[in-house]
Structure 1
Amino acid sequence: MRFARTLLPLSMLLLSGCVVGPDYATPEAALPAKFSESKAVSAGKVTLNPWWESFRDRRLNDLVHQGMGENLTVLQALERITAAEADVIIAGAGALPSINASAAATASGQDGSYLRRTSGRDSSSSKSLNAGASASWLLDFFGQYQRAKEAAHASLDAAYDDVNVARLAYLSDLVSSYINARYYQEALALSRKNLESRRETLKLTNEIKEAGAASSLDVLQVEGLVNQTLADLPGLETGFHQAANHIATLLGVPASTITGSLTKGAAQPMPRYSTKVGIPADLIRNRPDIRAAERRLQAATASIGVAEADLYPSIELGGSIGATRNFTNAATGNLTSWSFGPSLVLPIFNGGALKARVEVARSQAEQQYLAWKQTVLQAVEEVENAQTALIRDGQTVAALRKVVQSYEQTLNLARESYRGGASTILDVLDAERNVATARLSLAAAIRQLARDYVALNVAIGGGAEIGAPAASQ
């Protein structure tokens, strides 16, 4: 009676079924109502926003769309979706019955003189055919496979989000590399323009020297400036070719394949409109890395239930049926056998390993929560930094445009003054250097401004889902 009183509650618990482990709850993070330099207005869903089109550069647009389906990093991420989908099938298969069939045929015999003396026969032989089937079904009373399937589905969703993370990285790298290529082309054009200007100064100095108003030292100083400009050109050409080669690699084609189409040159990319940054809460919806981190947290939470299910008894229903047909020299016969019944496995002593696995699963879930929180905070930091840089670098570009204008006017005045004998060649050389430095500084500032615009749009998750596959349901 005491055994029956103990067994009855356990049987009722097993038959009723339950799912052990914590249920997943969406994590929360304390975020400010707005970014420091923008209004508290949501930007909505920006993952389908083709922000690179604001540069109004047709060649850039063509390159972006060309590489959408060719970038090797994105293709690798897409392939990982296939593996994650297979994991979902594997996780769900454990809760389903398993059926196996088998068949075998054997033949045996004996030869020897002993048989001839005792029975008068030279040999004896037998043959047999065997066929059978077996089935088993592990009853998932504690939700082990349900939790495993939940974890697999969450990992599959994370794989889809990882594709969008790869797309953002591709967009950032490609557009930034294109900006770099156009910068080096602009720097080359400016350097050649500076070279032409300095050669004019050298020509003027030689004319003044012939008139007896300039010395050989003046000529040598100008020649040094001309040669310095010539020395700067190869480095800029190298920068352009390296940027073009990297664009080719991002498009999944051999290096230098794109160089010819970019050689013609174009204006430096400049964004034509501002970015709606939105609020920090938008990042949780729009940033694929945040969504992927959350899905991994969900998978880790479900894995706790898988580990806890091992602490409880398990019941497996199993059965088999087999048929054998024997052929011998003396007779032929059939034999059929079958079996069916449940088996109970109750963990009693395992040295604490099962409980330790639960603690490991809980710790891994906590690590995933901390990783999610860190991802959120880093996303907010990236938006703040990019927005601050975009605003300040825009001010820098506006100021440098005025600097270039001032120095160009100064150079014209210095040449006229030098031609009239009111100033020295040093004044002209200083003006030449100032103009060259200001022009290149302006080009570099425009490049940085464009890259700030790229960084800001990538930081808010802009364009992450353009051309992306639909996530699993």
Structure 2
Amino acid sequence: MSTSLRTRLSSLRYAASLLTILLAGCVSGPDHVPPQMPLPAKFEAGGSTSNGNVVTAEWWTAYGDKRLDGLVTHGFRENLDVLQALENINSASANVTVAGAGGLPSLTVGASHTVSGEKGRLRTSVGTTNTSGGDASLSWLLDIFGQYRRSRESAIASLGAASATADNAKLTFLKDLVESYIDARYYQERIALSQASLKSRQQTYELTQLQLKAGAASRLDVVQAEGLVQSTKSEIPGLQQSFTESAHHIATLIGMPASSLMGELQKSAGQPVFRGDIRAGIPADLIRNRPDIRKAERELAAAVADIGAAEAQLYPSISLSGSISPSWVKASGASGGSLTSWSFGPSLNLPIFDGGTLRANVDIEKSDAKTQYLAWKAAVLNGVEEVENALTAVRRDTQTLEPLRRQVETAQESLALSTVSYKDGASSLLDVLDAQRSVSDAEASLAATVQQVAKDYVDLYVAIGAGYLEPEHVAAKPTAKSG
């Protein structure tokens, strides 16, 4: 083998090796590293034991209300906000394919057939000519610096963000539904209390009328008793309207017409009371369990990948392209013939003067990544704050329940004693009316606190990111592999 031939073969091997290295690529830009930030070992009002994965914890079942359980199950499948968020996952998944397609070879083919001819009186006119042809074009932008690989990484991260957004929509729906159900039952309780109070005050009013006829009461006593009756009557329509609005909202949340659900909700089931444990876990659990934090982390990953895609545009790009176009022509009265044309070759695109646009694009993406990192930190701190507040509220409001129950009992006892005393003529009507007001106020305060404690548990479990996935769906979350 001659020296010249050995030199050429060596050059070819070197070029092939260089091309392989270039195609394998040095990918521009930084790689995403999951963000971290210092967090306390425990919540101020919580324990030091991790909750683990609570995304499938059906915490609302601790209210012991089968009707609520059914509404949640139905709503997860029919809530329109959740369905829209799930549909966005399909769009984000398709964007992964679109983002990576630019770095793959593109082949297009086509075919054509034309018939042409001439008519006239000249003897030189010819008959029909049939022309059949085809073409195939191939192009491939060599993704040497990883522009499309980074774009695909960004699209995959955006897919994860879309999935987390859907999870967050489920958690938002869950909070709205359970709290609206608690509100509906609260208004039903208040209606029942007002109706019972109205009955008691009506009896007092009738007794006062009898006392007036017997000369043991004044007209002022009758007017005061009647005023309390009318005041109680005026409360009930507003409470009924509030119940109706809560029921209508529940129907909207689960994707049903209000009329189809109203009859079921009008069957009173008492106020929901949470009978589960307080399980807040530790702050580090939030990074895994809260979908808004996972969404922020995925958006950060997408922003970091966009830096690489922007940096890749600073460097030269090489494209390979080629085409082949065979054709066959046959004129009337003549034999046919074929012709094939082809071309192949690389092209180089080298950005030199762009007025600083490409470099500015890199700076924009870097700034966006920093913004997303700050947004992630804010999401984490907001999550910690929400859990801390919910823990404090649960413990504070729960402590007020027993004193309020005792207050209701003493007010009812005071009313019974004052009523007997009034019938015996030993006390005035004013004592009875004051006792009735005290009973109504105490019962209303107790019902409102039961409502608030029930909502406090909702806030706590939503704040820790619990219950937005059904167990069978945990392993079925949409993913895409990078490559």
TM-score under structure 2 normalisation?
0.92
Q: Establish whether residue 270 from structure 1 lines up as the match of residue 273 from structure 2.
A: yes
- Select 1:135's aligned residue among 130, 134, 138: 138
Which 4+ stretches in 1 moved above 6 angstroms? none
- Select 1:285's aligned residue among 283, 288, 293: 288
Shift of 1:124: 6.0
The AA in structure 2 aligned to 1:177 is S
Deviations 1:146-198 (A, max 9, x none): 11111111111111111111111111111111111111110010001101111
The CA distance in 1 between the partners of 2:456 and 2:38, in whole Å, is: 27
Q: What secondary structure does 1:104 align onto?
A: strand
Name the structure 2 match of 1:460.
Answer: 464
Mark the runs of 5 or more structure 1 residues left unpaired by the alignment: none
Deviations 1:178-224 (A, max 9, x none): 11111111001000110111112112212222221210110010001
Name the structure 1 match of 2:304.
Answer: 301
Shift of 1:92: 2.0
The CA distance in 2 between the partners of 1:291 and 1:44, in whole Å, is: 16
The CA distance in 2 between the partners of 1:375 and 1:165, in whole Å, is: 13
- 8 A contact 2:158–2:298 mirrored in 1: yes
Shift of 1:112: 5.2
Shift of 1:456: 0.5
Shift of 1:78: 0.9
Name the structure 1 match of 2:106.
Answer: 98
Name the structure 2 match of 1:68.
Answer: 76
Query: Aligned runs of 1:5-154 on 2, under 5 Å?
Result: 14=22, 17-111=25-119, 116=122, 120-123=123-126, 126-154=129-157
Cα RMSD over matched residues?
Answer: 2.0
Larger deviation, residues 67-76 vs 320-329:
320-329
Name the structure 2 match of 1:227.
Answer: 230
- 8 A contact 1:112–1:123 mirrored in 2: no
Q: Establish whether residue 336 from structure 1 lines up as the match of residue 311 from structure 2.
A: no
Q: What secondary structure does 1:130 align onto?
A: strand
Deviations 1:95-131 (A, max 9, x none): 2111111112233344556xx2xxx334565442211
Query: Aligned runs of 1:393-472 on 2, under 5 Å?
Result: 393-466=397-470, 468=473, 469-472=476-479
| Alpha-carbon distance change, 16 to 151 in structure 1, aligned in 2, over 3 angstroms | closer
Report % sequence identity: 52
| Alpha-carbon distance change, 438 to 15 in structure 1, aligned in 2, over 3 angstroms | closer
Shift of 1:328: 3.4
- 8 A contact 2:323–2:344 mirrored in 1: yes
- Select 1:195's aligned residue among 195, 198, 216: 198
The CA distance in 2 between the partners of 1:252 and 1:27, in whole Å, is: 38
Mark the runs of 5 or more structure 2 residues left unpaired by the alignment: 1-10
- 8 A contact 1:288–1:464 mirrored in 2: no
Larger deviation, residues 418-427 vs 381-390:
418-427
Shift of 1:341: 1.3
Name the structure 2 match of 1:155.
Answer: 158
Q: What secondary structure does 2:170 align onto?
A: helix
- 8 A contact 2:92–2:159 mirrored in 1: yes
Deviations 1:248-279 (A, max 9, x none): 11111112321101212011000012221011
- 8 A contact 1:244–1:256 mirrored in 2: no
- Select 1:371's aligned residue among 375, 383, 396: 375
The CA distance in 1 between the partners of 2:276 and 2:95, in whole Å, is: 45
- Select 1:261's aligned residue among 260, 264, 286: 264
The CA distance in 1 between the partners of 2:329 and 2:265, in whole Å, is: 81
Q: What secondary structure does 1:47 align onto?
A: coil
Shift of 1:425: 1.2
Shift of 1:332: 3.5
Shift of 1:331: 6.0
The AA in structure 2 aligned to 1:348 is I
The AA in structure 1 aligned to 2:437 is R
The CA distance in 2 between the partners of 1:409 and 1:236, in whole Å, is: 26
The CA distance in 1 between the partners of 2:361 and 2:33, in whole Å, is: 22
- 8 A contact 1:248–1:258 mirrored in 2: yes
- 8 A contact 2:41–2:48 mirrored in 1: yes
The AA in structure 2 aligned to 1:245 is H
The CA distance in 2 between the partners of 1:184 and 1:331, in whole Å, is: 94
- 8 A contact 2:28–2:146 mirrored in 1: yes
Deviations 1:379-417 (A, max 9, x none): 111111111111111112222111111111111121122
Name the structure 2 match of 1:177.
Answer: 180
The AA in structure 1 aligned to 2:454 is A
| Alpha-carbon distance change, 420 to 139 in structure 1, aligned in 2, over 3 angstroms | same
Name the structure 2 match of 1:212.
Answer: 215
The CA distance in 1 between the partners of 2:96 and 2:23, in whole Å, is: 26
Shift of 1:68: 1.6
